[in-house]
Amino acid sequence: MSANTNSAILHRSLEKEYPAASGGDGVYIRTADGRRIFDGSSGAAVSCLGHGNKEVIEAICSQARALAFAHSSFFTSDPAEELARFVMKRSNGAFSKVVWLGSGSEAVESALKIARQYHVFRGEPERVNFVGRLHSYHGNTLGALAAGNNPGRRKIYEPILSPAFHHVGRCFYDADGKGLSEEEYEDQRISEYEAEFLRLGPRTVAAVILEPVVGATLGSVLATKNYLSRLSELCRRHGILTIFDEVMCGMGRVGTYHAWQSLGNVPPDLQTVGKGLGAGYQPLSAVLVGKTVCDTFLGHSKGAQAFLSGHTFQGHSIACASALAVQKIIARDGLVANCQKMGEVLHTFLTTSLPSKFFENGGSLRGLGLFRTVDFGTLGDVCGGPLGKEVSQKAFDLGAAVYLCSPTVDAILICPPYIMTKVETKELAGTFVEAFKQVLASRS
C-alpha cells in the first residue's frame, strides 16, 4: 500500500509521506510533528522573504478588512495600480503596462496570447508559430507545457499539445560548448534560431519564449554573454516578439531585479514573473508588457476590450496588497544586493567544502545570486547511479529542503530566501554538504 493513501489529497507522489507544514519563521518551516526545516530552495524559488513576515501579514489583513475582491471586469484597485507602478519604476522604463494573473503558467499563457493578438492587430494573422527551447519549463497548463520542453512533464500530454510550438536547442555552454569559444557557440545557437525561422517561414512566427536563466529543468543555467541581445536583434529583424519567462529566475533572485539585466541588459517585448513577486504570501504572477506591444494595443482597441483574455481572480486585491508589501520590503532592505552577496558566500562555502571526489568526477557549481546549482556531473556513473534524489531526501532528513532538478541533469537547485544572513547561508550549505557526504559514504 502506498505511504499516503490515508491523505484526502491526490499528492504529487503516492509513495512518500508528506509532513504537514504548520508554521514558519524566517528561513525555517515548522512541521506538525515538531521538526524545523530550513527552506533551502524557498519552496521552488518562491518564499524570498522567508516566513512569518509581520509587515506582509499586516498588509494582507488590512486589505482583507477593506475589501478582499472586486472583479476586474468592473473595477481596478489601489494596491493593483500601485504595485503595477512600483514594478514598472523598478524596471527603469522597460515596460509600459502590467497584466496581473495568479500563477506562472497563467502568465505564460497570457504572454503567448498577447503576442498572438499583437500580430493580429498589426494585420499579420498568419503569425501562428512560437519557438521555445529544449529542456525548458514554462508551466503545466497545456499552452505553457507546449511552449516548454521538459520531457518528463510533457510525455503523457504530447498528443494533445498544440503543433504551433517548436523548439531549438538550449544555451548551455559549459555542457555543450566543448572545443568552441563562447562566441562560436553563440553563433551556432543564433544560426539555429534563424534556420528554424526560415523553415517555418519568418512571417509565420509570432514569438520566441525562453528562460534567461533556466530553472527547474537544468538548474540555473545562464544564457551566454551576448546570446539574449543577439537573439533580440534577430527577432526584431523578422518582426518576431521576444518573451522572457522570469517566473523562476526573476524579481531579484540572481542579484538584479530582472535576470536579463545581468545578461546583456536588453529587455524583452513581454516578460512573465511570478514566484518571488508575491513571495508565496499570496499567489500572484504577471505579464510585463513593453512599449511596442502596448502602443499597438492602445492604438487598436478603440475603446473596446483591449486584451481578449481574462481570469476571474486576476488583480486580486489581497494578492496585490500583499505583493506590494513584499516588493517594498525588498527595495527598502536592499535584498536584491543581498542575493548577490549571499550567493557568493554560498558558492565559496560549497567550493571549499564539497569533497574532492565531487570535482574529480565532473561535479560543478553554477548560477548567480541566490540561484545556485550543484550538478553531480558523472559522479553517479562511478558510485551507483544518480545522486540528486537521494541527496535531496537526505538533506530533508537532516533538516534542509532543497529542490531536485528534472532528471535531464543529476543536480540540485539551491535558492534560499533573499533574507539569508551569512550564518544561515553557511548552515544551509553545511547541511547540504553533510547530506552529500553521508550518501557518498553509504555507497562506498
**Which residues of this chain interact with ligand PLP, rule CB under 6 A?**
44, 103-105, 108, 137-139, 211, 215-216, 245, 247-248, 274
Cα 402 to Cα 393: distance, rounded to the nearest angstrom: 9
Cβ of residue 240: shortest distance to ligand PLP, in angstroms? Answer: 20
Cβ of residue 168: shortest distance to ligand PLP, in angstroms? Answer: 17
DSSP secondary-structure letter at 2? -
| Locus of grid cell 537521494 | 390
Cβ of residue 106: shortest distance to ligand PLP, in angstroms? Answer: 7
Task: Pull the grid cell for residue 133.
Answer: 527551447
CB nearer to ligand PLP: pick between 51 and 135: 135
Contact by Cβ (8 Å): 282, 316: yes
- Which region holds residue 92: left if phi is over 0, alpha if psi is between -120 and 50, else beta? left
CB nearer to ligand PLP: pick between 83 and 111: 111
DSSP secondary-structure letter at 163? T
CB nearer to ligand PLP: pick between 133 and 138: 138
CB nearer to ligand PLP: pick between 105 and 431: 105
Cβ of residue 42: shortest distance to ligand PLP, in angstroms? Answer: 12
| Locus of grid cell 523598478 | 90
Cβ of residue 274: shortest distance to ligand PLP, in angstroms? Answer: 5
CB nearer to ligand PLP: pick between 216 and 368: 216
CB nearer to ligand PLP: pick between 99 and 429: 99
The secondary element (H helix, E strand) that includes residue 22 is strand 21-25
Cβ of residue 246: shortest distance to ligand PLP, in angstroms? Answer: 7
Among candidate residues 378, 336, 335, the one with its CA nearest the CA of residue 358: 378
Cα 308 to Cα 335: distance, rounded to the nearest angstrom: 36
Cα 371 to Cα 222: distance, rounded to the nearest angstrom: 10
Task: Pull the grid cell for residue 156.
Answer: 503523457
- Measured from the Cβ of residue 151, the count of other Cβ atoms closer than 10 Å reads 14
How far is the first Cα of the chain from the last one, in angstroms, to the nearest whole number? 31
CB nearer to ligand PLP: pick between 79 and 212: 212
Residue nearest to ligand PLP (CB): 104
Cβ of residue 107: shortest distance to ligand PLP, in angstroms? Answer: 7
Cβ of residue 398: shortest distance to ligand PLP, in angstroms? Answer: 25
CB nearer to ligand PLP: pick between 143 and 290: 143
Cβ of residue 204: shortest distance to ligand PLP, in angstroms? Answer: 25
Contact by Cβ (8 Å): 120, 307: no
Cβ of residue 283: shortest distance to ligand PLP, in angstroms? Answer: 8
Dump the DSSP string for 69-121: ---TTT---HHHHHHHHHHHHHTTTS-SEEEEESSHHHHHHHHHHHHHHHHHH
CB nearer to ligand PLP: pick between 320 and 433: 320
Cα 335 to Cα 339: distance, rounded to the nearest angstrom: 6
Residue 103: which residues within 8 A CB-CB, separation 6 or more?
139, 274, 283, 285
Beta bridge partners of 404: 412
Cβ of residue 210: shortest distance to ligand PLP, in angstroms? Answer: 9
H-helix segments, 201-334 = 227-238, 291-300, 317-332
CB nearer to ligand PLP: pick between 318 and 433: 318
Residue 137: which residues within 8 A CB-CB, separation 6 or more?
148, 150, 153, 211, 214, 215, 216, 217, 406
CB nearer to ligand PLP: pick between 392 and 431: 392
